[in-house]
Structure 1
Amino acid sequence: MSISESDHSSPTVATTATENTRSTSIRSTFKAQSAIESLSSIITTVPDSPNPSSSLLNDPEIASQICSLIRQADAGAGNDNLCRWLYDTFQSTDPQLQLVVLRFLPILGGVYLSRVTLRKPLAGFEAVLLALYAHETTSRSGQSMTVNVPDISHPSIYHESNTVKNNATNLNLAVISPSLEPHGTVRSTKRARIVGVALELYYSKISQLPVASKIDFCEFCEAWASGGDNDQQDSSVSSNGEGLELDQRERMRIPLSWELVQPILRILGHCLMGPNQKKNKKLFDAASCACKSLYRRCLHDINPKAMLATGSLLSLAKLSSDSQNDDIDYTEIRMTNAISL
């Protein structure tokens, strides 16, 4: 190829890339607009916005209406229009619309886990959770998620050693998420795993989700762990209405297997020590309360693995909180006229 031909090909490639980006943006906007039109038949008010995807993700009025529908007593059935909308929206394969569905995962998963013991039909909720699980299974090709952990029984590269290296022990693989199997229904023995994988997907996108969604998650975590035990003393002097509310919180106490605790701790860790946690005290406080309730629950259940993980997270959160109020730089050399002997 001559120099002149190479010079002419570069603008052509750039133009093609620009056209592809523009075409993708148009398709994404069209899908978001279609999703809003479908949602308008389910909720009462849908504000107009030049950016439909951002409106669905961040608009507090839309979020409030959707959360109210999910919390209704008859929500989650197989003929639930909102669940069908969430399912279809996630299956659109548009990344921005999939974020919208993940934004409501804390409240959907929270209501589902709290009501599943009541033996009510919740096929609508389960369809959405299975869609998230299937997406994660496909993206990971069913493989497990592992990390390399250093083997402290061997010297590091900075130390001399006369021992012969054994290549078989060089790699220590820690499985942080086991391999995934396809599931078409939610069985009681696989429920925690399916919801846990959905939470893993939520965690992978957590930096793009609004703070309100994370606060919802923290509040449900506290309810899952404590079930209203923290309010037990107040319930003895409460009115009938408040007593019913406490009974509802008692039903929210759920079994916490390691399949649920592990992704829960990752999400709480982000809420406690994420890049923006110093700017949002409400999120930090909600995550701190959830972590404390979870730690008390682990002590009650005598779960050593969860106790160690939750206690470590609490210690890190305390260090992070103390550092916010500590402006002293201990590496700085202070200038003073006093001579110290």
Structure 2
Amino acid sequence: MPTAAGSPSSSTTVTTTSTAVDVTENPVSNRNEGGGGAPAASATQSWWESISRARSRILSLASVLSSPDLASLADSDRPARSLLDSPLAYAALSAAFSAPSSGSGDDPLCHWLYDTFQSSDSDLRLVALSFLPLLAGHYLSRVVSSSSSSSAANPPSLAGFEAVLLALYAAEVKARAGKPVLVSVPDLSLPSLYHTPRPSAPSRQPPSAATAPPPRPSVGILSPPLEPQIAVKSTKRACIVAVALDSYYKNISFMPSRSKIDLCEFVAAWAGQDCPCRFELDDDDLNRSSLCSSSPSSSSSSPQVRIFFEDNGGIGGAAEEMRKLAIQEGPNGNHCDGEDEGGGASRRGSRVPLPWELLQPVLRILGHCLLAPLNPQEVRDSASMAVRCVYARASHDLLPQAILASRSLIQLDKSARKAAKPEIVPSNSSKPNTPSKPKKPEVLLVSK
């Protein structure tokens, strides 16, 4: 029944409707006003807990290393990142790792690294990963030196190093969830990686012939499923260190330059090849002195041409030096003059076994150090020397995968260095766009 606009029933209906809307909307607005600050307060509390956790770790490290100067890093706005980028902290920890008593089960520095990596803060985990080159380098070198020395019956305890490596390994086992790491290799019979075979026209294809299935890319296993480990056995040592280095490679863009240089120097020491095989892929015009200057064994790396002085014994000294340069055939058929005298004396580590499972993450790290555009020149030079040592070692050990990978990295390094070398333009050469003046014809005067 229609109702007049000014009737009481009409006004009551409008009032009731407006009241219902107000009652329905007010609780929503009240809930938004009451809970709107909860996420902001939670984020602030999480940020403050992260800052407090990082400051506690820094003060603990300063106490372990007996270095009060490190405590000043706790006052920064981002203490974990300040610790990651601090050269003072890295140098102090490097000196502590170089001590003969480091790496034992009661080493407080290993306890600090273990607790720091177990932290839920991602920046603190990066700090622990940045010291992995020092830990892995000293660990593998001491394992080999202790097994080859006369005191092999009572080797030094390296339980502290192994606990940190097992923590890194366990984290990677949890992340992979029992699955292998696969790599998809495209069909190499196609003209290019971006080529897809097009089906032939229906009219040209006989109706009875079955259509060939499209080629499937082959899938290779880059890393098999990881098994949990509770101890570092001799048969699993290379696998555990390789998994730890793979974790380092995944976060290598956050690592400081000094950490990358240390890893390259330890890799060169692990390879232990100071023979001229390192430079057999280099051109004659390559400046090898720039590569040798970044290597810890640069003072002992022998060039193929030596300069003799008068105090070397005259002709006798020259004959002795020429005898050292004679080509000798190694046990595997390679022609090489062997290691230089004293070549490994100044190295930071020892020659260690290098199976392919350990070389895979090492070569990935060297590839990043060689080709990443933001790396400083010192990192590239150290990686360039390390990959040449790996190539020489792989050539002597006859490892085809390592030979192919290291050879490819050397070729890429050579191309990058040639592209970065400035072209020398002769000063007397004329510009191609500058027109040259025509020469006047020569007039010869002949007397009659």
Compute the displacement of 1:20 (Å). 3.8
- Secondary structure in 1 matching 2:183: strand
The yes-or-no answer on 1:311 pairing with 2:407 is yes
Q: How many residues align?
A: 321
Compute the displacement of 1:320 (Å). 1.9
Aligned pairs for 1:148-159 within 5 A: 148-153=184-189, 158-159=196-197
Structure 1 window deviating more from structure 2 (85-94 vs 250-259): it is: 250-259
Matching residue of 1:291: 387
Unaligned runs of 5+ in 1: 235-242, 328-334
- Secondary structure in 2 matching 1:146: strand
Aligned pairs for 1:1-341 within 5 A: 16-45=38-67, 46-49=70-73, 50=76, 51-117=78-144, 118=146, 119-153=155-189, 158-162=196-200, 164-166=211-213, 170-226=216-272, 231=300, 246-247=344-345, 249=347, 252-277=350-375, 280-325=376-421
Gap change, CA 1:173 and 1:245, over 3 Å in 2: closer
2-structure distance, mates of 1:76, 1:228: 29
Structure with bigger helix share is 1
2-structure distance, mates of 1:16, 1:263: 44
Gap change, CA 1:189 and 1:211, over 3 Å in 2: same
Deviations 1:63-114 (A, max 9, x none): 1111111111111011111001100111112110110111100010000000
Gap change, CA 1:3 and 1:92, over 3 Å in 2: same
2-structure distance, mates of 1:13, 1:322: 62
Matching residue of 1:240: none
Gap change, CA 1:150 and 1:164, over 3 Å in 2: farther
Compute the displacement of 1:232 (Å). 7.2
1-structure distance, mates of 2:359, 2:26: 61
Gap change, CA 1:201 and 1:6, over 3 Å in 2: farther
Gap change, CA 1:70 and 1:15, over 3 Å in 2: same
Compute the displacement of 1:6 (Å). 9.2
Unaligned runs of 5+ in 2: 1-23, 147-154, 201-209, 276-296, 304-340, 424-431, 436-448
RMSD of aligned C-alpha atoms? 3.2
Gap change, CA 1:283 and 1:157, over 3 Å in 2: closer
Deviations 1:101-147 (A, max 9, x none): 11100010000000012032100000000000101111111221112
CA contact (8 A) 2:272 2:344 kept: no
Matching residue of 2:429: none
Gap change, CA 1:30 and 1:152, over 3 Å in 2: same
Q: Write the letter of the residue equivalent to 2:72.
A: D
1-structure distance, mates of 2:343, 2:396: 23
Q: Write the letter of the residue equivalent to 1:160.
A: R
Q: Write the letter of the residue equivalent to 1:136.
A: E
CA contact (8 A) 1:298 1:306 kept: yes
Compute the displacement of 1:31 (Å). 1.2
1-structure distance, mates of 2:383, 2:31: 54
CA contact (8 A) 2:273 2:389 kept: no
- Rg larger for: 2
Q: TM-score, normalized by length of structure 1?
A: 0.84
2-structure distance, mates of 1:170, 1:8: 59
- Secondary structure in 2 matching 1:42: helix
Compute the displacement of 1:249 (Å). 4.3
User: Identical aligned pairs, as a percentage?
Assistant: 40
Structure 1 window deviating more from structure 2 (282-291 vs 145-154): it is: 145-154
Deviations 1:282-337 (A, max 9, x none): 1110000001111011111111111001101111121222222368xxxxxxx958
Q: TM-score, normalized by length of structure 2?
A: 0.65
CA contact (8 A) 1:227 1:251 kept: no
CA contact (8 A) 1:228 1:249 kept: no
CA contact (8 A) 1:272 1:287 kept: yes
